[in-house]
Chains A and B, each alone.
Chain A
């Protein structure tokens, strides 16, 4: 499974755009990139998944460069409620193997 590297923590203010970058240098051809959000004492919540270029949904955007060795989760105009841990996972999207959660990035949004 491809190993991922994310910043341990980030700080932001309400209303700002936050970009969290994840490195996955040994990503395989069949691997997808998936991001999750976790609040304290709750299970992680699926945010977005992509393979290449750009994916956007109502919550976030995911930017993946052509070499796919990194990806960036973009959260537009964050609010206090976006304070959470964000995980980047890389692996096949077939469901045959579970993905491994790393330490994630702890995002703190200040007023």
Chain B
């Protein structure tokens, strides 16, 4: 248990669906991240939030829309995804020394 939770753990959606991934951290951190990890590939950083403000967006398609209402919660809204978006989506929060604590991930399958 890392103090970072993610829901749902598994999600299957069609290309026309709208769904949201949720991440919550109980560590008092001020930085939160979304990563994507496709099969047998390195983690790809998607978004970075510091003190609720988005500070990095690594050229992520607009069909992925992040939301950070407060320092403890982070959402990833999904809309009209493609099959190649199927992956493990990981949320992390970072402490004062940038050590990142990861959630268990959401395994997303786009049909």
Contact = CB atoms under 8 A, between A and B. Distances in A.
Contacts of A13: none
Contact of A101 (B31, B43, B55): B43
Interface residues on A, range: 20 to 34
Nearest to B47: A98
Contact of B2 (A34, A43, A49, A96): A43
A45 interface: yes
Interface residues of B, number: 30
A95 B102 contact: no
Interface in A9-51: 32, 34, 36, 41-46, 49
A94 interface: yes
B2 A45 contact: yes
A104 B41 CA distance: 10
Most interface-central of B43, B48, B104 (chain A CB within 10 A): B43
Contacts of B45: 98, 100-101
A46 B33 contact: no
Interface stretch (B14-22, B61-69, B92-100): B92-100
A79 B99 CA distance: 25
Contacts of A91: 98
30 contacts: A34-B98, A34-B99, A41-B107, A42-B102, A42-B104, A43-B105, A44-B43, A44-B90, A44-B100, A49-B97, A91-B98, A92-B98, A93-B96, A93-B97, A94-B98, A95-B29, A95-B96, A96-B31, A96-B50, A96-B55, A97-B48, A97-B55, A97-B56, A98-B31, A98-B56, A98-B94, A98-B100, A100-B45, A101-B35, A101-B43
